[in-house]
Amino acid sequence: MSFEIVTVPCLSDNYAYLIHTQGKTALVDAPEAAPIAAELSARGWTLDEIWVTHHHNDHIGGIAALKEMFNPMVRGAAADAKRLPKLDAAHGDGESFDFSGVPVQVLDVSGHTLGHIAFYLADAQAVFTADSLMAFGCGRVFEGTMEQMWTSLRKIAALPGDTMVYSGHEYTLNNAKFAKTIEPENADLLARLEKVKQASARSEPTVPSLLAEELETNPFLRAGLSQVKSALNMNGAGDAEVFAEIRRRKDSF
Ligand code: ZN
Ligand code: FE
């Protein structure tokens, strides 16, 4: 089974993704319609489905216009249906749906918002995480608790290491600079920082990223490690507590 996954830059730093397999096309998030419609027409694709990760306008702002152009079905979280544009299918945590013969699993990854979901396609080795797990970082915790966000990130971290992580924004360079303040001696992290600097200098997207690399370098996934706890003088603290400290530091970085 073959997949084409196309990254579509939108607004100032958002990413939408087109997933094309066996003649059908789905879109993950719709920050704005124009660049997505342009990409579809350049490839001669129509739009069959839109999958919404969360209610923020920079992820749903283009849905109404795309609905008018292509009449796709819209899928999103049952838990947040009242804040999302009208859903044709509402999904709960752990539920799977079929897309063009491919199983897609819905994961609740609340924290950034309540009812934020991710879409996992094991067959494509791809997870679409928007503002939960991000390249070298994670989204701000606006609506959920720190504990909840930590649980959500661990859920994504438990997927196979060869999974590619398709996140919602180009925040990677800033995330990388912050990561260095947490683990200045982490050689994998420093090497990745250099790669990210080069990609940013060429204005190239730094997404998707490999989950295995996130596990080695992303401080928000590493809050449970003893070397991270001791670097923060938090030996003996709970993992979620350490995550919360890292998140608070990033908020004011
Ligand atoms: Zn958001
Ligand atoms: Fe966002």
Among 100, 120, 106, 88, CA closest to 25: 100
81: domain CATH number is: 3.60.15.10
Which of left, alpha, beta for 75 (phi over 0: left; psi -120 to 50: alpha)?
A: beta
Burial class (CB in 10 A: 0-12, 13-18, 19+), 137: buried
Q: For the chain, what percent of residues have pLDDT higher than 70?
A: 100
Residue 1 confidence class, pLDDT cut points 50, 70, 90: confident
Mean of all residue pLDDT scores within the chain:
98
Which of left, alpha, beta for 86 (phi over 0: left; psi -120 to 50: alpha)?
A: beta
pLDDT of residue 30: 98
Domain identity same for 114 and 161: yes
Q: What is the mean pLDDT of residues 81-92?
A: 98
Instruction: For residues 119 and 96, give the distance between their C-alpha atoms in angstroms, rounded to a whole number.
Output: 9
Ligand that lies nearest to the alpha carbon of residue 13, given by its number in the listed order: 2
Neighbours of 45 (CB within 10 A): 18
Please tell me the distance between residue 185's alpha carbon and the centre of ligand 2 in angstroms.
Answer: 30
Please tell me the distance between residue 60's alpha carbon and the centre of ligand 1 in angstroms.
Answer: 10
Cβ contact 75:88 at 8 Å: yes
Please tell me the distance between residue 67's alpha carbon and the centre of ligand 1 in angstroms.
Answer: 21
CA distances from 106 to 70, 92, 127 (A): 24, 7, 10
Dihedral of the alpha carbons of 85, 17, 163, 109, in degrees to the nearest 10: -20
Domain span at residue 122 reads: 104-253
Please tell me the distance between residue 115's alpha carbon and the centre of ligand 1 in angstroms.
Answer: 11
Strands, sheet with 89-91, edge to edge from the N-terminal-most edge strand: 4-10, 14-21, 24-28, 49-51, 73-77, 89-91
For the cut 90, the answer to whether the pLDDT of residue 8 exceeds it is yes
Please tell me the distance between residue 230's alpha carbon and the centre of ligand 1 in angstroms.
Answer: 31
Ligand that lies nearest to the alpha carbon of residue 30, given by its number in the listed order: 2
Domain identity same for 160 and 184: yes
In the listed set 40, 65, 92, which residue is the last one of a domain according to the structure? 92
Please tell me the distance between residue 167's alpha carbon and the centre of ligand 2 in angstroms.
Answer: 9
Please tell me the distance between residue 12's alpha carbon and the centre of ligand 1 in angstroms.
Answer: 14
**pTM of the model as a whole:** 0.98
Domain identity same for 108 and 86: no
Segment 185-212, tens digit of pLDDT: 999 999 999 999 999 999 999 999 999 9
Domain identity same for 44 and 162: no
pLDDT of residue 241: 98
Segment 109-149, tens digit of pLDDT: 999 999 999 999 999 999 999 999 999 999 999 999 999 99
pLDDT of residue 134: 98
pLDDT of residue 187: 98
Q: Establish if 181 belongs to a structural domain.
A: yes
Please tell me the distance between residue 185's alpha carbon and the centre of ligand 1 in angstroms.
Answer: 31
Please tell me the distance between residue 165's alpha carbon and the centre of ligand 2 in angstroms.
Answer: 15
